[in-house]
Structure 1
Amino acid sequence: MKKALYFIFTKSVGLYINGMSYAFPEKANQLAYSIFSKPRKGKITLDKLPKTLTSATIEMVESDGEQYATYTWKGNDTVILLVHGWESNSARWKKTLPYLKETGSTIIAIDGPAHGLSSGTEFNIPKYAAAIDIVVKRHKVSFLIGHSFGGKTCLYYQSHYPNTTVKKVVTLGAPSEFNTILNNYTHLLRLNNRIVSGLVQKCVAVSKIELNQFTGANFATSLSTKGLVAHDVDDSIVAYKEGQAIAAAWKGAVFVQTNGLGHGLHDDALYNTIISFLFDLEK
């Protein structure tokens, strides 16, 4: 029943946008982009803050007129920044945090644009990276750990904001191809060619890069930062081959294949592998 309703809803939205494209093309293109870039979930409120985040010190940082929430668990001078993915928030690190805290490090998590306690209605990687840059510089971050789109944002950040304080980056289930995501969206709504063309132009204007170059693998090719790429063979959200492509393009990166963890990649052994990588511990 839910699948049938979802099909009817997406088809109706697509028909509406397609119809609008003939009389009001600019409004139709803007609506198509707004739906594409606006998360449907992931927002939280202070009065219903997830328990995981209540023990953190919450601060807001401003970037391009938007407010971004950060959560800090104070430790020593080694700072780890956690970067969540699409339709998520900093509470997604609930299972990871205990392992990172054992290292004695200062842990900071950030809510992406239009997620968690952060402001805005539009999510895009350049916005996310600009906010990350403020946190990295302010707190002299040593390590970045990003999940899903957060992982791709870390790659974008390191390739566009070279920063000597970041020594290592970990990506978990990160996507590489942007065109795949865009094509899935336009196919789901069955958008016509004039809308697809306008949507592509809008995405290029936002990213300032041609979409065939807006890939995790392309960002990784320019990195000298040490990296670990983890991806699960059973990931039903981001294909395993995308993780392989990022690792192949990233010179010297460690590739970790997992089995049965899906897209979430929550696992004691994997956490320990990440910590060993970050702190050069013997296995």
Structure 2
Amino acid sequence: MKKLLYFFYTKSAGLYINILSFVFPKKATQIAYSLFSEPRDGRLSKSSLPKVLQETYSETLQHNEHHFQSYTWKGNDNVILLVHGWESNAARWESILPYLQKSGSTIIAIDAPAHGLSSGKEFNIPQYAEFIHVLFQKYNPKHLIGHSLGAKTCLYYQSVYQNDDLEKMVILGSPSDFNIILNNYINLLSLNSIVTQGLEKHYLKNFNLKLEHFSGKLFASKIKTKGFIAHDTDDTIVLFEEGKKIASSWKNSVFVETTGLGHSLHDDVLYTKIARFLFETE
């Protein structure tokens, strides 16, 4: 029943946007973009934070007209930055924390735009990368770990900012081709060519990137930092081939294939491998 209702909702929304596009194409594109970029889940309340985040030093940082939230588990001078994905928040890292804390490191997790306690209604990777850069300027992390769209944001960040102080990156379940994500959305709503072209123009105008260039594989090809890429063969959210694309262009990386973990990639064996990659000397 839920699937049927979701089908009617998406197709009805698409039909409304398509009809509107013949009269007000810019308005139709704006609505389509809002539906695509506004998360429906992942928000947090200050009064009822998950326990794992209550145990941190919580900090609200300002960047331009937005603010974003960070959470710090204090340790030594080695800093690790954790970057979550779509419709999630900083609490998603609870399971991996014990493996990282064994090193004594200081660990910082961030809430993405429009997620957790961060401001805004829209999630986009360039803005998320700007938040990351603010934390890099303040805390100078040596290690960067990202999951899903957070992982792709990490790839984008390092390809653009080329931070020489960053020593190692861990990329978990990252998508590569943005066209795949956008086309899935377009097909879901059955959007017409007017709206489709409007969305493409929006990304070019606001992010100065053609959609085919907004690629994790392309970002990875520009990264010299050591990388650890993990992707699950049973991932139904981001297909396994996406991880392989990223690995194929990132020369200084290792690719770990898992099975049965799905998109979340929560697993003690995998966490042990990640800790080994980050902390063991070669």
Shorter-normalised TM-score: what interval? over 0.9
How well do the aligned residues superpose, as a CA RMSD in angstroms? Answer: 0.9
User: Within 5 A, what are the aligned runs for 1:148-159?
Assistant: 148-159=148-159
- Partner secondary structure for residue 120 of structure 2: coil
Displacement of 1:207 in angstroms is: 2.6
For 2:280 and 2:205, the matched residues in 1 are separated by: 41
User: Within 5 A, what are the aligned runs for 1:45-60?
Assistant: 45-60=45-60
User: Within 5 A, what are the aligned runs for 1:92-241?
Assistant: 92-241=92-241
Match of 1:23?
23
Residues 159, 219 of structure 2: 8 Å contact kept: yes
Residues 148, 172 of structure 2: 8 Å contact kept: yes
- Corresponding position: 1:280 with 2:280: yes
Letter in 2 for 1:133: H
Unaligned residue ranges in structure 1 (runs of 5+)? none
Displacement of 1:205 in angstroms is: 2.3
For 2:248 and 2:216, the matched residues in 1 are separated by: 11
For 1:23 and 1:248, the matched residues in 2 are separated by: 45
TM-score by length of 1: 0.98
- Partner secondary structure for residue 174 of structure 2: coil
TM-score by length of 2: 0.98
Letter in 2 for 1:31: I
Displacement of 1:52 in angstroms is: 1.2
Residues 200, 210 of structure 2: 8 Å contact kept: no
Residues 173, 265 of structure 2: 8 Å contact kept: yes
Q: Sequence identity of aligned pairs in percent?
A: 56
For 1:204 and 1:103, the matched residues in 2 are separated by: 43
Match of 2:9?
9
Displacement of 1:65 in angstroms is: 1.1
For 2:230 and 2:78, the matched residues in 1 are separated by: 22
Residues 37, 122 of structure 2: 8 Å contact kept: yes
For 2:33 and 2:250, the matched residues in 1 are separated by: 31
Match of 2:32?
32
Displacement of 1:281 in angstroms is: 5.0
For 1:206 and 1:250, the matched residues in 2 are separated by: 27
Residues 128, 153 of structure 2: 8 Å contact kept: yes
- Partner secondary structure for residue 211 of structure 2: coil
- Partner secondary structure for residue 118 of structure 1: coil
Residues 232, 260 of structure 2: 8 Å contact kept: yes
For 1:95 and 1:205, the matched residues in 2 are separated by: 39
- In the TM superposition, structure 1's runs of 4+ consecutive aligned residues that sit over 4 Å from their partners are none
Displacement of 1:280 in angstroms is: 2.4
State the Cα deviation string for residues 43-90 of structure 1 (Å, max 9, x = none): 111011111100011101122311110000000000000000001000
Unaligned residue ranges in structure 2 (runs of 5+)? none
- Partner secondary structure for residue 213 of structure 2: coil
For 1:213 and 1:25, the matched residues in 2 are separated by: 25
For 1:244 and 1:205, the matched residues in 2 are separated by: 30
Letter in 2 for 1:217: K
- Partner secondary structure for residue 155 of structure 2: helix
For 1:208 and 1:51, the matched residues in 2 are separated by: 40
For 1:160 and 1:281, the matched residues in 2 are separated by: 28
Displacement of 1:204 in angstroms is: 2.2
For 1:206 and 1:234, the matched residues in 2 are separated by: 34
For 1:234 and 1:158, the matched residues in 2 are separated by: 28
For 1:111 and 1:88, the matched residues in 2 are separated by: 8
